[in-house]
Amino acid sequence: MAFSTDTALRNQMIYSVFVRNHTREGTFRALEGDLDRLQAIGTDIIWLMPIHPIGVINRKGTLGSPYAIRDYRTINPEYGTYEDFLHLVREIHRRGMRCIIDVVYNHTSPDSILAQEHPEYFLQDAQGQPTRKVADWSDIVDLDYGNLDLWRYQIETLCQWAGIVDGFRCDVASAVPVEFWEMAREKVEQVRPGCIWLAESAFSAYTMEMRRRGIRSATDTELYRAFDITYDYDVWPCFEGYLTGRNTLAEYIDLINFQEEQYPADYVKLRFLENHDQPRIASRIQHETLLRSWYAFTYFEKGTVLLYSGSEFAPTRRITLFDADNCYNGKQQDLQDYLTCLKSIKATLPADSYFRLERCTGDIVVGCYDGPQGLARGVFPLGGAGGKVPVYLPDGTYYNRIDGAPLEVINGSLCCSDQPIIL
């Protein structure tokens, strides 16, 4: 496990912001106007998707992907000035929140500063031209970490930003050598002690395909040598599979339990129902009560919760990364008060304790925390119906922390409706 990982991250919530589409203006200054609301719903950490200038060559859409970066060391002028960015970070800090930024170190745009000044930093084809490992990513070229001078440049850049922000979400982290991330973490720690490191770890299918082609791709277990948090993509296909009927809920729950059994004791997972690369969850789970149960389950799980821009309003339409759009289009519900309640509960969960999930009849999931910190129980009717389930507590009257309703535990079990319960 990475040194100095703070497991308090398990009780926190990250809110992901795509600056371009989060507000009508799409600027740092406009985003400041939403900080009070984001703080009120329980945000601990604001993750700004890439803030750097976007390349022009092979640009996708009219504005281009923020992940096709032209210059790692400057600010996208569409969002504002460098001073505007500094002011935004100060305002985030003033409200007691932290700020992390996207680090896109697997690739750059074809017309990036590095591609122009240091072509030797890039993966090259048989003709000596910059190339990439994933053909569909047509607006980027891949960096070659066999060049150790590239390591120096990239780490210097991280240290520059670490003087301002509190951490990094590292895009396609699996494709960059873990040894680089370990060195980077060590150097950055000297600038920003306690820096947060979040890895976008890869789907197992991507890792296996890269290995089939003789290309190294790190697993979550390897990434934990350098990172505090990894994505939940190791179990995501089974989550999607349950929603689409390809596999059972029991199979998905078994995989989450397997994480607890196999990862280092201090592991932190990113728990989410959607992000900028995935469909909106409200387009997949359209029943309001069921969606609330899934959110309650997500907040209860051991790990850091991620909300993607607009999630609190359950929009159904996925926004584009390549054009001007609105993260809040297609609002279905206002979940702000509900998610605020869930966050207040999450902040008190004994999340360093033993954690286990059990799938019961009717696709009701019972979650358990047990340890010296205390006990917590969650009952989540993810199949949409209630029933009688074991909660492994002494008999007596308990109160649901979500709505305050009293509940009777008899012979170690309770009866639930279609509403989630946290004790």
- pLDDT value for 329: 77
pTM over 0.85: yes
Q: Any residues with CB less than 8 A from the CB of 258 and at least 6 apart, and which?
A: none
Look at the block and give the residue holding tokens 């601990």.
44
SS3 content of the chain, % helix, strand, coil (to 5): 35, 20, 45
- pLDDT value for 104: 98
If phi over 0 gives left and psi between -120 and 50 gives alpha, with beta otherwise, what is residue 366?
beta
Divide the 423 residues of the chain into consecutive groups of 10 and give the mean pLDDT of each group: 89 98 96 98 98 96 96 98 98 98 97 96 89 89 96 98 98 97 98 97 94 94 97 97 96 97 94 96 94 98 97 93 87 93 98 96 97 95 95 97 97 97 97
Please name the helix (run of DSSP H) or strand (run of DSSP E) that holds residue 305, with its range, or none.
strand 304-308
CA distance 144 to 130: 10
CA distance 22 to 19: 5
Q: Exposure pattern of 25-62 as b/e (b: 16+ CB <10 Å)?
A: ebbbbbbbeebeebbebbbbbbbbbbbbbbbeeebbee
- Can you spell out the DSSP letters for 20-84? HHHSSS-SHHHHHTTHHHHHHTT-SEEEEP--SPBP-TT--TTT--TTSBS-TTS--TTT--HHH
- pLDDT value for 120: 96
DSSP strand pairing (304-308 vs 13-17) = parallel
| Phi and psi torsions of 353, nearest 5° | -90, 170
Please name the helix (run of DSSP H) or strand (run of DSSP E) that holds residue 359, with its range, or none.
strand 354-360
Contact 333, 298 (CB under 8 A): no
User: In angstroms, how far is CA 360 from the centroid of its own chain?
Assistant: 28
| Paired strand residues for 98 | 45
Contact 138, 131 (CB under 8 A): no
CA distance 183 to 308: 30
CA distance 314 to 83: 33
CB-count exposure of residue 356 (10 Å: 0-12, 13-18, 19+):
middle
Q: Where are the beta strands (DSSP E) in 180-260?
A: 196-199, 229-230
